[in-house]
Structure 1
């Protein structure tokens, strides 16, 4: 265990971004939709939960102390998905990504050997995505975070082709992290909006990338799927079957399962059996340590969760350290 432990799934709160959008009508509508999708009980828990974690989400010193306690050497820090603001018009969207990139870069600059950052793109405005990516890279961020979809925009949308091309060309890291779920009120109790909604959104988004041929056209993409890729990696056999028997499912050149080895996945699946299956399905060189730091749906001890999976030593070391070192250029 000589290499650094690298956590690729850790978040940051950005008061600068929220100050920009405060009071806007679009924000009020987005919050109303979020309330409808999550339900009142979830919202009553979310507020105090986030409030208790504000120091960890904003103060580099508090973050580093928590990392030391976990035994994590390096974090890849991404803005909280609540900062996507995919309702924003073009002018507001540009202000959001510029503020997010500047603040994230400043946070990581407090400990550049231990913190690396990701920016945002305005997924609702695909024609601006390349500009936003380039801005993030210009400030020393490693890439950008994006959700599973934006209103009217799937990841398979032709309008995103220039973005995928630029990301592959630059070697940018892309972190796929859903926010919200289109199943709406069906998931508005028992926190199903997150426990079921997030894995479902990941599976849908990755399926769009696979079946549409995005990964055929851009094989060099460095895309990490949060939450172990959701339901897709452990149920990929159904996708393979559809590809074999249904002509309308032949949008990609090869069986869908083969594309798992072109993607990356974090280890945050909350079950050692599922983590072992993820490693089997995607390959030990495609799974990275992830914690969802510091939220309650993450793990406070990502290294213990990894150890519990009982992977062979070489696979354990790959997930803990070496895969991320290679991918992030640490």
Structure 2
């Protein structure tokens, strides 16, 4: 009947795998890998032929391809799919070399969808309306603050996830934050009232784990992770009506940052100003204009609209 690992025993197997990882990887990486493996093994255990058990022989290339495809359809980013594949590969190698219950790595030679090379997203007025409406109707104080930082301050998911209390300075009428976790390219930016108000309300009334050094916490942790923010955004979109869903189904949280760049450009900001605000800075500390230009490049729709103005 092959090697069987019953569901009640799977936790100890994952703990054993976590202990193996801890000798060579950071605590954060161990947590991320273990979470991926736990979700993957639970998914495999529910497939036909598994009988509610995780069977290493059911951890096949076919299973991995279908699992990644389901994640892709659910709206997970290509970056996240790469993380899942890396963690699954590590787990497979451990099962092969340490547990000796598999002979092949099922993650090898599995292609992943490529990130789109099209112009970065500019939302239209209806998409902005739907998203802001969903936030107003369904979000708690934490959700409203997270959305505001993406939509009105153009912060990356990583910037928000790693934002520390010491980097947030919010007063009655002014507000500024120090952001830039990615690449340690920190910059100090002022924020508009649309950010200051929800952030102030969250910090005063909605924040859990007040002893945490991080601004955003989850129900179970002192830091809300990048995956946690992506999950929250997908859950928010799932609350849309059918016609609303058709407008926002393929919008990712990072698209809010792209849209901010377009709106800033339309408001008269220079590329240098947008570069600084977005954190597009070179190693020499100068604005990375080429990166910002890609964010704000014209779209086919913009040119189509302006064709009508030609006399």
Task: Give TM class, smaller chain.
Answer: under 0.3
Q: Which has the larger radius of gyration?
A: 2
Which is richer in strand? 1
- Tell me the TM-score normalised to structure 1 length: 0.23
